[in-house]
Structures are given as C-alpha cells and as structure tokens.
Structure 1
Amino acid sequence: MNDAWKVATPGEAPTFSAVVLAAGLSSRMQGQHKLLLPLDGQPAVRRTVGALAGAGPAQIVVVTGYKGRAVMEALDGLPVSFQSNPRYEEGQMSSVAAGVAALTAPCGVVMVCLGDQVLLDATDYRELIDAFAAMPRGSILVPFFNGQRGNPVAFSASYAAEVVSGHVNPGCRKLIAEHPDDVFIHEAAHDRFTIDMDTPEDYARILERLASRERC
C-alpha cells in the first residue's frame, strides 16, 4: 500500500487510478475465455483496457488469475501493471483486494473495473469521475440505468485500507444497503454501465451491437 493516498476534494476533478478485474474463470462461456474473445480484431480485454487508458488514470492495475499469461500477452504494450491473484477462485473480492493493494500512484479515487465491459469508452469512464467530483454527498459512486446496478464502482481512496482488508466490498450487491450514507447513485443516460459479457449469448449481442454502430 502507498502512504500517499490523496483524499478527493468535492468539486475538484480528482486524480483516479483503476483496478481491472481480469482473473475470473469465464465459467459461463462454455469453454472459451471471455476476455480473449475477438472484438473488432482485438481481444476483448484489450478493448476494455485501451478505453480505460484513454480516460487518463494515474495508474491501471490489471488483476490476473485464470489464464493469466494469455491475458498479459493480450495487453502487451498498454500502460498497465499486473497483479497476480493466486486466490482468484475464491471470488471477485479477493481480486479487488489484491488490485487495490498493488496501487502505488497517489490518487483521490479508485475505480474498480470489469475486464468484460467492452462497450465502455473513455468518455464513459470520465463521466463517472466527473460525477464523483460533482456528487453532493457520499464517497462511493455506483452507476445505475433504469433501476439496474452497473459498474465500474468508484470510491474515495480513503477506503483503500478497508477494501484491502475486506471490510468494504465495492462489488457487493448489498453495498448500498450496508453504506446508505456513503453511497451515491449515478443515474446514467445510457445502458453501457450495465452490460458485460458472461455468456455466448452476451457475446453475440455485443457483436451485433458493434456491427450496428459501424452501419450507422
């Protein structure tokens, strides 16, 4: 852990770092690794991380586990560091804790990102950081669209130690109920924060959506 965490100041554009969760088993993808599936000629995880890098984070830590070497090769040349999670089979929270513990660059906000949210672009990530800076209360931001909870979740770096220790789980569905005074819900105007890629059907829908963009 770095001792130089900077607490985000309300109203200012905070410096943020990102943890990308890329350690999972892809157990619902029928034998394929979802993060390595091709999208527009590149692996899905490279599309995700490339968009995130465009939003200007101070640091990106990619947490690897299942097929970690292949994930690292897919991200070759991008401005990221890697953190292996030998406990990845224990679930997402172990990867969140490993990734946050590996952050070294001073920042005011930490964003926990999913490696399979391939429809997000740099402006979407910036939208969340701008919303965090402008939120009237709270220190954890969760995007929603039409009542559906989305990702990434952003939280003040002051929570880092609690996240690493497991006392705060930014990926937990009960987060809002457990921390009602700390959580601010960001109502998005689009569905991209709520779309990830867990199944072959999800992959097919995303391919069609990307193809539809190209036809427009």
Structure 2
Amino acid sequence: MFLSAIVMACGKGERFGSNKLMAKLKGKELIRYTLDALPAELFSEILVITKYKEILDLVTEYPAPFFGIYTDDPEGGQDATIRCGVRNLSSNSDGCMFIAADQPLKQKSSLQKQIALYQQYFQKGEEHFVALSFQGKKGNPVIFPKSSYKELLEITDGQTGSTVLRAHPDALVLSEACCAAEMMDIDSLEDLREVERILLQKDGF
C-alpha cells in the first residue's frame, strides 16, 4: 500500500497573534510535535503544505518521505491547502492521511493503530474513510481513500474535508485514540500554556 500524508500547516493563527506553528513548546517548535508523531516508516510520502518559509526550511531537516510544499494562498484556507496537497500527491497514492499541524499531543501509537485499520480494509478491497476519534467522537487526522481525491479537488471556498465525509456517511470508520488530550489543538497562547502544563505532568498524560 502506497500511503500518503498531508500535513496542513497554513493556518493564519489570528487568535494566536503570530505563526503559532513556530511557537516554542518546551523549547521545541510546535509543528515538530506533529512531524515527530507521524510513523514515517509507514508512509511513502509526507507532504507538509505551508505558506511559511520558516516551516519549509524546518522540513528540510527531515529526511524522505518528508517534503515541504509551498502554497501561495494568502488566506491559508483549508480548502486551498487541501487542493494543493492533493494536486501534489503521487499518482501511486492509495490513501492519504490529512493531519492538522497544531495538535501536539498526538501519539504515534494511535496513528499506527489508525493506519493499520485503514490497511485492513484496503487489503480486503474495501475503501473507507478512517478517522481518529475519542469516545466515539470523530477527530483529526482522517485517512481518505484514493477514490475521494477528485471530490477533495472540487471543494470550494470555506469547505473542508468534512464536506466530502458528509457525502459518504456509511463509509466512515472510527479509530480510538489513546486519550482525550490527543484531540487538543492550539488556537491561543492560553491553549499553548495548557498543553505545556500537560506535558510537564506527562505521567498523567
């Protein structure tokens, strides 16, 4: 199975006040938590879609299958980020994990479990959307089958991958995360401080 990943790293960070993905969390850039959580050995390509030069430079520190892809969309909208990512996927791609870059508490074991579930369906010739979840509530990331790429390319301003998911409700499968903290994202400085508190008390996490 040729599995792709698209790391969505274009957000404007309006509530945060700056490029939140380069903010330091325990001395480490926020985006590195996402990149380091990805089980790179299970992917054939990992595309980091961004409009920020500093993130493109950071991605060069990671070996293949990590690749930085520049998008010049001034708004950093999810729809443009998704379309840019899908356009740059290899023609061999059998499925793609779309993952937000601002959820630093993702656990590699949860992503491995999610990928294994997608692969089980793929090997049976079944195409499903597999979303990470907690206690039955869908979260991020989501693995999209190749058959949905055309629909993703057709989403318009203000739409997201959820638009495509809603068109295929019976094809969605949930994969349980290790803990609720994996669903936390960083939108403000207060969020960053809360995540840092959790990391400092990692035994509880």
- Quickly name the TM-score band, shorter chain normalised: 0.7 to 0.9
Q: CA offsets per residue over residues 24-47 of structure 1, 9 Å max, x none?
A: 101111x23210111232211122
Q: Residues 22-75 of structure 1: CA distance to partner in whole angstroms, max 9, x if unpaired?
A: 01101111x23210111232211122112215453110111112xx11112233
Change (3 A) 1:215 1:148: closer
**Partner of residue 186, structure 1:** 175
Q: In structure 2, the residue corresponding to 1:151 is in which secondary structure?
A: strand
Q: Which residue of the partner structure matches residue 22 of structure 1?
A: 9
- Paired residues, number: 198
Matches of 2:180 and 2:112 in 1, distance apart?
A: 16
In the other structure, the counterpart of 2:141 is 152
1:175 shift after superposition: 4.8
The answer on 1:77 being equivalent to 2:52 is no
The match for 2:108 is 122
1:47 to 2:10 alignment: no
Asked if the contact 1:55–1:126 (Cα under 8 Å) also holds between the matched residues in 2, the reply is: no
Query: Quick one: structure 1 residues 22 and 88, their matched pair in 2 at CA, closer, same or farther if it must change by over 3 Å?
Result: farther
The answer to whether the 8 A contact 1:52-1:125 is kept is yes
In 1: Cα distance, 2:142 partner to 2:113 partner: 12
What RMSD over aligned residues (CA atoms) do the two structures have, in Å? 2.6
Distance 2:31 2:108 in 1: 14
Pick one of 161, 182, 185 that aligns with 1:171: 161
With structure 1 as the length reference, what TM-score do the two structures score? 0.80
TM-score, normalised by the number of residues in structure 2:
0.83
Report percent identity of matched pairs: 25
**Deviation of the 1:215 alpha carbon:** 8.5
Quote how far apart the aligned CAs of 1:17 are: 0.8
Structure 2 stretches of 5 or more lacking a match? none
Task: Spell out the pairing of 1:68-107 with structure 2 (5 A cutoff).
Answer: 68-79=52-63, 80-89=66-75, 91-104=77-90, 106-107=92-93
Conservation of the 8 A alpha-carbon contact between 2:104 and 2:182: no
Distance in 2 separating the partners of 1:53 and 1:131: 14
Amino acid at match of 2:93: C
- Give CA deviations for 1:114-167 in whole Å, capped at 9, x if unaligned: 111211132222111112234596521122213433100101122223212328
In 2, distance between residues paired with 1:158 and 1:138? 8
Contact 1:143 1:193 in 2 (8 A): no
The 1:55/1:201 distance shift into structure 2, 3 A limit, reads farther
| 1:203 alignment partner in structure 2 | 192
Supply the distance in 2 between the matched residues of 1:96 and 1:131 (Cα, whole angstroms): 23
In structure 1, the gaps of 5 or more residues are: 1-13
What CA distance in whole angstroms lies between the structure 1 residues aligned with 2:101 and 2:74? 14
